A = this chain, B = another copy of it.
Amino acid sequence: MDAEAVLQVRSFNRTVAERIGAVNDRFLHQPRPMNESRLIWEIGLEGEELRTLRMRLGLDSGYLTRVMRSLAKQGLVRVRTARQDGRVRSAHLTKSGLRVRAELDRRSDELALHILDVLTGKQREQLTSAMGQVERLLEASMVHLAIEDPTSTDAIWCFEQYFAELNSRFEGGFDPTRSISAETQELVPPRGALVIARLRGQPVGCGAVKFTKKRVAELKRMWICPALRGLGVGRRVMNELERLASEANVHLVRLETNRTLKEAIRLYRGAGYVEVEAFNAEPYAHHWFEKRLARASRFPKKELTRLVIQSRK
């Protein structure tokens, strides 16, 4: 890869770590241990379950209990057992906890102001626009793909988003029951697979492959959340599905799509899909595409580990 790009990224890391990190430290966690501040922040205005906090901050359960008790003793939080599940405990900020959080918020603003302070108006614009770009591209690089269970709540959420979008974009809406189905069982190995893209643990996109006939597969339910479009995530999901197909000895990948989905059509054409005659009777489709897969070696880089299940102690 480009050595200059690597140098730029490293230099950026140093500068930013210094500017954000150091100043962040000095400004944000003033009298309080860092993890206490982080917790106050993450509990938020609405309260949060301990297990969620543990996951988000990557803390040991025993450790969390103690820090939480310390916060409770200071009168900043109240911990109580959740209604629905007697094992789960959830934390809420008290009045003075909310005050502390507001103070953190104010400090965070102050830090930002401090950075913008000495710049001219034009420089500020340049800085914020460049920051926005960096952020967007860094987020693109933080998206991870994994094969997941299509019955999970996150998978179902993705499908709902997908259907909702089709419904709003297709002329005359979209009714899943009239469309050629991809049953849940069909999206589980060995009959198929569902790939979910996640950013910070949250699902942000999906795509599925269904092995139909011998050596033929169909791509289904390609959806990327609007905020992340144009960053190549869709392309990565597709590559991954093709890799899975290739591993399953598939030689031909097919898909059908609706004419209103311009960006998807562009993605397919760009990836080497060519338009063919209708190969099924999907009522919502206007275009049918297919692509011949080369040997498995065309996909040397295995992007994901199979069935990644995230869990923390």
Q: Hey, which bits of chain A sit against chain B, CB under 8 A?
A: 1-2, 4-13, 15-21, 24, 108-109, 111-120, 123-128, 130-135, 137-143, 200, 231-232, 236
Q: Are B19 and A24 in contact (CB under 8 A)?
A: no
Shortest CB distance A128–B (Å) = 4
Given A112-B10, A130-B133, A132-B8, A16 contacting B118 (CB threshold 8 A): no
Q: Are B8 and A109 in contact (CB under 8 A)?
A: no
Please give, as numbers and ranges, the residues of chain B lying within 8 Å of A138 by CB-CB distance. 15-16, 19, 115, 127
Q: Are A128 and B8 in contact (CB under 8 A)?
A: yes
Please give, as numbers and ranges, the residues of chain B lying within 8 Å of A117 by CB-CB distance. 141
In the complex, what distance in Å separates the CA atom of A97 from the CA atom of B115?
37
Q: Taking the full assembly, how many copies of this chain does it contain?
A: 2
Q: Are A119 and B141 in contact (CB under 8 A)?
A: yes
In the complex, what distance in Å separates the CA atom of A114 from the CA atom of B10?
11
Q: Are B24 and A131 in contact (CB under 8 A)?
A: no
Considering the complex, give the chain B residue whose CB is closest to the CB of A5.
B128
In the complex, what distance in Å separates the CA atom of A8 from the CA atom of B7?
25
Q: Are A134 and B137 in contact (CB under 8 A)?
A: no
Q: Are B20 and A16 in contact (CB under 8 A)?
A: yes
Shortest CB distance A187–B (Å) = 24
Q: Are B20 and A24 in contact (CB under 8 A)?
A: no
Q: Are A109 and B13 in contact (CB under 8 A)?
A: no
Shortest CB distance A104–B (Å) = 11
Q: Are A9 and B232 in contact (CB under 8 A)?
A: no
Please give, as numbers and ranges, the residues of chain B lying within 8 Å of A120 by CB-CB distance. 232
Q: Are B134 and A16 in contact (CB under 8 A)?
A: yes
Please give, as numbers and ranges, the residues of chain B lying within 8 Å of A200 by CB-CB distance. 18
Residue from the list B8, B127, B139, B236 in contact with A131, Cβ < 8 A? B8
Considering the complex, give the chain B residue whose CB is closest to the CB of A58.
B22
Question: A113, A116, A125, A126: which has the most chain B beta carbons within 10 Å?
Answer: A116
In the complex, what distance in Å separates the CA atom of A7 from the CA atom of B135?
13
Given A109-B10, A137-B123, A16 contacting B16 (CB threshold 8 A): yes
Please give, as numbers and ranges, the residues of chain B lying within 8 Å of A132 by CB-CB distance. 8, 12
